[in-house]
A and B are shown apart, each in its own frame.
Chain A
């Protein structure tokens, strides 16, 4: 006899003659185009696709639809890829998972023999006493259990987030979904369809010959029928997104789907769920052996991939469903016996199978399977009890028990009710914007599935204002077809008797016995069992265990199946790579227009909000000294910059700041700190009056966005005749500082930059290095200084010109660290570093700018209260003894008690002493007061200063 690959036949999905070679563990497998990793393994005679989660039992292909945990493999380092639905690719490296040694002979398989030591909830029961044992036990458990291994590489692919807003969203691309999409789109509704598989068609794909009288696809092989339906939908204008499973329905309703490289967020006016049904395993001893397969998997292997999954097959069924598979297996050259749960099987499919030569044993069920690394014996016996028979086989097919995939519908708010005929929970009460069609809604046959799909498409389109001209005759005909009833479903017994593990949940290795034990421990409802045993919580999310777990729970608790409701449906319904969920986590990285020059100069960059800013170019202390002694320049383009303009611009600022601006002269600058209505400092900066009706306002780098929002909010509320324009990115700015700064300026501009022409706190416009600029004479770092604002496009040019002009004077660029040192010497506060969410201007030493006599400003009412009492705490300067710089945040202690904290600390460039700022109680805030700073291993003496440590009278600043 030949290998498992069967002769060519129409409708197959593979392209013979197009070989694809890939690695599977240590061997090389040759498949053909169209194969999945799973079908290639089956064609290569490989039955074990992986090892199980807890007991390391061998597992093989079960569902072939990507809905069970049995074939999760690692592909090119990506763990938990479903082998059965992932197409083969030349050169791919596939590793089977969860084995120590080889998957074929996993050494950890021994765990299976010691399973009595691993009862449900063992995680809570073993290794906890003595207490020291758990740290030793936990890593071992974690290493042995689990699914796949997270990749170690830090490579992260950027995924997109795509928002779609169609009229109609169809979830599921089987026959019902495709028919619905075609009708909705044809009626004029903008329609999107989500399908999880790489090809549309759903269960239709595995049908050898479609039976749908009156439909165009009648008599076609399943693959061609699926393509025809998809073509019809596309022609009508529907957009079909393949390999994009919907995994959650959120408020809105918003449907989330995981495309390969994108997260889809879809907000449709109408949702049509055509999610189909999942075939369910039967529970009997060793029901997890490789070779125990669902009928759908056998159909797909035989029809799509032309692989014969076994030579001697036993099929368990309670309906005509199993006979279709039995006939297909017989065609494929296998010998087949059907164990039918019904005492008196009848129907066309039964008769056709019988005529073809299938052996049928009525009233029979599977008692257990036997075998070690694959099924070898099926033990069958009468359903009602009686003598059992042992049958040699290598394939045990379970057919016909199907659970509607209602999870997403339940997430969306559908109410499920038990349907006696279908022995399943069906979504019978739906929100008005939702439709269900096909197997998920209980349709028993292809004509009913298609009719339900078409009806749902038409109804959805009509409800969004399309499809108003459907002929009544056609609707009636569709309704008739859609309402068809199937044969009553006969389910196998909930479980069997006898030795061997009977698995209810394959993902988490939960057995019937463990469920019973858990119920005995008191976890006696479906929701509790789920939490305790983790049943339905594995990678399959209940797709391959819903029916068994509900029925076993019912049996163990003495309830009935209809009373045992499914557990609450939650996203994600399908495992989603974390990278897809992280698709919208974007960290902007902003660079100033001068960035490349900093890089050229060897700057070490640091994050400042979203910005990359130079921390230093060389030794920060030397950079600071250069500013004190000669001249330095720093890029401050990251400052927030706002043009405030309009007849009421001054009025707006009067209300936004505690300072007075009404009497500010054109060409003058005032320092301002912005407060909220609690009187807390939000930000500070310079307010420059450029004209009677125009100001330039700066804000700190980190708060630029918040200040923008804050100013425009109040402007919106007060409705003043003024405009705030955020020009932060439009302007580059540099601060040129040091005793020789004037000389550099003089070389760059024809403006009068003398002490009289442009005095301290003056602002003027003029050309600098040939570029129109606004020049602010401010004391940013405590020396004679000019802040030069130019259009961003000219930032690099002006920076270059300044360095060139300053070269003879020894100019040095300086970074944020030197700036921190220089500003700390002047006791300039850094909002957010030296102040916090409780700091008012009185406490921060900025009381001088508060004009309580103004009629109103943000924070006035709160400051009125604060002004009546002495501040409890004050922000003061500190000069520390010794050379150690205490970490920021260090405690300030006084008389052995914690009284405050250090907020900034650096070594001064000017004096060499360690200086800082910090909060101390009001009584200690006196010049020369003595406190101690607690550091690791001791205390440092510090004296309090109430003014700048450097240039206290500001003569250098004003020079």
Chain B
């Protein structure tokens, strides 16, 4: 697995400099049914194509950001800070996977 990821602070860097945080998921609210929790914890879309996911620039700025990556070609369409992209408005109850 080698491709470039444009880190929003550092610019394009080798994927090996980053840690993968999995696809962006929606953390259920505190009073959600158990089934929602199970889905959030264990079920993934596993998209074949563009997917919004978390990346951490471990060997760089050590910041988390979101990337839209095509899981087939590994092309990273764009990267952005949480809150700056569609469907990722920050706030309680809307969060990354554990």
Contact = CB atoms under 8 A, between A and B. Distances in A.
B28 A251 contact: no
A267 B5 CA distance: 13
Main secondary structure of the interface of B (DSSP, over half): loop
B95 A717 contact: yes
Contacts of A163: 14
Contact of A712 (B4, B30, B63, B74): B63
Contacts of B60: none
Interface string A584-597: 10000000000000
B63 A861 contact: no
A329 B1 CA distance: 51
B62 A712 contact: yes
Range for the number of chain A residues in contact with chain B: 20 to 34
Given A717-B96, A856-B30, A861-B28, A709 B19 contact: yes
A719 B64 contact: no
Interface string B66-82: 00000000100000011
A714 to B, nearest CB: 7
A849 B79 CA distance: 39
Range for the number of chain B residues in contact with chain A: 35 or more
A521 interface: no
Nearest to A655: B92
A167 to B, nearest CB: 14
Interface in B77-95: 81-83, 90-95
Nearest to A676: B98
Interface string A697-730: 0000000000011001110111100000010000
B98 to A, nearest CB: 4
Nearest to B62: A712
A251 B4 contact: no
A714 B95 contact: yes
B2 A250 contact: yes
B63 A716 contact: yes
Nearest to A677: B98
Interface string B1-40: 1111000000000101001010000011110101001001
A860 B92 CA distance: 14
Contacts of B37: 677, 861-862
A865 B29 CA distance: 15
A252 B12 CA distance: 13
Contact of A252 (B3, B64, B83): B3
Contacts of A713: 21, 54, 56, 64, 96
Contacts of A251: 1-3, 74
Given A678-B41, A708-B62, A713-B21, A718 B95 contact: yes
B60 to A, nearest CB: 13
A135 interface: no
Nearest to A675: B98
Nearest to A256: B2
A719 B54 CA distance: 15
Q: Sorted from nearest, which 7 A-B pairs have the closest CB atoms? A: A719-B90, A716-B64, A676-B98, A677-B98, A856-B30, A717-B95, A861-B37
10 contacts: A250-B2, A254-B2, A677-B27, A677-B37, A709-B62, A713-B54, A716-B64, A716-B81, A717-B82, A717-B95
Interface of B: 1-4, 14, 16, 19, 21, 27-30, 32, 34, 37, 40-41, 54, 56, 58, 62-65, 74, 81-83, 90-96, 98
Interface of A: 163, 250-252, 254, 265, 267, 584, 655, 676-678, 708-709, 712-714, 716-719, 726, 855-856, 858, 860-862, 865
